[in-house]
Chain A
């Protein structure tokens, strides 16, 4: 049985169709990389999975039940920016989810641990910080950390509630290439160890191939030059990435291009991604 299933999901704002006829079945422990030209609705798709947006049509089911109407602890998220709380230290950021879930009366009211519970939470957090390599900055504020460290902290924080699905919205987009390589290793390790299901939006095709077990390409199947907003994007390719050799020709070409010029964005927002240049 699939963990997450989307049936004929669409999203439109008035006449502006963002997504249409999105169908998807995702099993537990899959790593779905989502790529597509900018503005093609891949971040919107993630917002749907997060319940930040409600679909205009169709149905999303998580674990067989309809998706909750608001963001909840069953779906974790890491954004490109602003994912950690600037007023809390690294350690406080990691124990915050435990404090929020704390079920004692005082814990729920003020969302804070004291005494023995706090020490227990800190021990657990310490272990997690070790895995993402942040123990040496446990008392620093996020502002003083590098971009990569902040994202590692955000990931660690998102893992605490043990979400069924982890949603990553271009998490490494603002990082330099070296840092990005390290982040890839960390996220792959965590993914294997935690047996998570991950959705990751990226604009880097290579990154998608490297990390994902499955590559979802978002694009518009129909394109009306006179009314670009008339048709929405959908999943145009759904590829298991272990069969990379059998890529559709045009995608293979793009992948080749992006390998040759790793610094250059593989494609620009010049129209539908499917159009062969």
Chain B
């Protein structure tokens, strides 16, 4: 085997190669942390594994002395609720508007330009307006996620609907389908896989908007906690929280990918992202 482009690893080799960067990162962290703690045992920047364990234990498994609840779970619940609500609304609007714009020439003429303009408004620039209009409560945070994610969803879905072969729509008409029947029997079933993948792509931005809004005004939430303890340089809390958020994001993505594979068997082999 001469050329590098023809060299592959076996199955176990693949696992090993995949794990290698993680191992290297962890090792680098531990070495750096050890070095800093050896110089100054009170160093807060790169805490040891024990301080992580302490912090996780305190936040996740011991009730907060003042509130009597478990901080990590409270934060997680609050954040996931906001995220879920925001993404649900965005997905709903995205589906309805996307199908309408992609399928109906009249809706396309009426709404495509406004969606194109709205989609380039930077959502974070709108955040102060949201806080002014909706107050500092849940509504402003959820709305930010909706505003940030919806234009992308609408454009993605309308493009996917508009990309359906013309032949299919003509054929459906020659089989006697009305517009509504074309939507329910031809367009929607073929758009749902794209909806799931659009949702997966939107998870990243949605987390970004969630954490930003929580950082600015909230009383609980994962983003709120990180920015709260930042004042005390509490890396022993921040890093586990970041890892937790990463894990949540990864699991959500994985669940959606599984759903897409299970639910849309007809396009087997097409979505392998």
Q: Identify the A interface with B (CB < 8 A).
A: 50, 52, 70-73, 75-77, 79, 81-83, 85-89, 96-97, 99-101, 108-112, 141, 143, 154, 157-158, 160-161, 163
Q: Which of B174, B185, B267 has the most CB of A within 10 A?
A: B174
CB contact under 8 A between A81 and B176, given known A100-B185, A141-B265? no
Set A52, A81, A87, A112: member contacting B267, Cβ < 8 A: A87
In angstroms, Cα B186 to Cα A73, docked, is 16
Q: Does B180 contact A (CB under 8 A)?
A: yes
State how many angstroms separate the Cβ of A77 from the closest Cβ of chain B. 5
Q: Is there contact, CB below 8 Å, between A85 and B186?
A: yes
Query: Are A73 and B174 in contact, CB atoms less than 8 angstroms apart?
Result: yes
How far apart are the CA atoms of A103 and B180 in the complex, in Å?
14
Q: A81 vs B166: C-alpha distance in the bound complex, in angstroms?
A: 11
The smallest C-beta distance from B215 to any residue of chain A, in angstroms, reads: 43
Judge whether B170 and A141 touch: CB under 8 Å: no
Most buried by A among B176, B180, B264, B267: B176
Distance between A56 CB and nearest chain B CB, rounded to angstroms: 20
Q: What chain B residues lie within 8 Å of A79 (beta carbons)? A: 167, 170-171
Give A110 to B167 CA distance when docked, in angstroms: 22
Instruction: Using A86-B190, A87-B189, A141-B265 as known contacts, say yes or no to A158 and B176 having CB atoms under 8 A apart.
Output: no
B174 adjacent to A163 (CB under 8 Å)? yes
The answer to whether the Cβ of B173 comes within 8 Å of any Cβ in the partner chain is yes
Q: Is the CB of A97 within 8 A of B180?
A: no
Task: Show 20 residue pairs from A and B whose CB-CB distance is below 8 angstroms, ordered by the A residue.
Answer: A50-B170, A73-B176, A77-B174, A81-B165, A85-B168, A86-B266, A86-B267, A87-B189, A97-B176, A100-B178, A100-B185, A111-B184, A141-B265, A141-B266, A141-B268, A143-B266, A143-B268, A157-B171, A160-B175, A163-B174
Report how many residues on chain B are interfacial, defined by Cβ distance under 8 Å: 24
Partner of B175, one of A81, A100, A143: A100
Do A83 and B190 touch (CB < 8 A)? no
Q: Is A71 a contact of B170 with CB atoms below 8 Å? A: yes
Taking a contact as CB atoms closer than 8 A, the residue among A71, A73, A82, A111 that contacts B185 in the complex is A111
Known: A96-B175, A101-B176. 6 other contacts (CB 8 A): A83-B171, A86-B190, A141-B266, A143-B268, A157-B175, A158-B174
Residue of A nearest to B170 (CB): A71
- Which of B168, B175, B189, B264 lies in contact with A161, CB distance below 8 A? B175
Query: What per-residue 1/0 map shows which CB atoms of B156-173 lie under 8 Å from chain A?
Result: 000000000101101111
B185 touches A112 (CB 8 A): yes
Minimum C-beta distance from A262 to chain B (A): 28
Contact of B174 among A75, A81, A88, A109 (CB under 8 A): A75
Chain A minimum-CB-distance residue to B265: A141
Residues of B within 8 A of A109 (CB): 180
The answer to whether residues A77 and B171 also contact, given A109-B180, A141-B265 and a CB cut-off of 8 A, is: yes
Q: Does B88 contact A (CB under 8 A)?
A: no
Is the beta-carbon distance between B174 and A50 smaller than 8 angstroms? yes
B51 within 8 A of A: no
How far is the CB of B31 from the nearest CB of chain A, in Å?
52
Query: With A86-B190, A141-B266, A143-B267 known to touch, is A52 a contact of B170 (CB < 8 Å)?
Result: yes
CA A70 – CA B169 in complex, angstroms?
12
Q: How far is the CB of B88 from chain A (nearest CB, A)?
A: 23
Q: Which residue of A lies closest to B192 (CB)?
A: A87
The 3 closest A-B pairs by CB, nearest first: A82-B165, A73-B176, A71-B173
Rounded to whole Å, the gap between the CB of A101 and the closest CB of chain B is: 5
Known A-B contacts A73-B176, A97-B175, A143-B267; A87 and B170 likewise in contact (beta carbons under 8 Å): no
A112 to B181, CA, bound (A): 9
* Contact residues in B for A158 (Cβ distance below 8 Å): 171, 174-175
- When C-beta atoms are compared, the residue in chain B nearest to A80 turns out to be B167
Q: Contact between B168 and A100 (Cβ–Cβ < 8 Å)?
A: no
A-chain residues with CB within 8 Å of residue B168 when the two chains form the complex: 82, 85
A163 and B184 alpha carbons, distance in the complex (Å):
23
Report the separation of the CA atoms of residues A99 and B189 in the bound assembly, to the nearest whole angstrom.
Answer: 16
CA–CA, A109 and B172, complex, Å: 15
- Which residues of B lie under 8 Å from residue A86 when comparing CB positions? 190, 266-267
The one of A75, A88, A110 in contact with B184, judged by C-beta atoms closer than 8 angstroms, is A110
CA distance A201 to B242 in the complex (A): 63
Chain B residue numbers with a CB within 8 Å of A157 are 171, 175
Q: Which residues of A contact B170 (CB under 8 A)?
A: 50, 52, 71, 77, 79
Q: Residue on A with the closest CB to B190?
A: A87
Q: With A and B bound together, what is the CA distance between A194 and B76 in angstroms? A: 65
Instruction: State the CA gap A111–B186 with chains docked (Å).
Output: 10
Q: Which residues of B contact A101 (CB under 8 A)?
A: 176
In the complex formed, the residue of A with least CB distance to B183 is A111
Given contacts A111-B184, A112-B185, A143-B266, contact A83 B167 (CB under 8 A): yes
Give the nearest-CB partner of B188 in chain A: A87
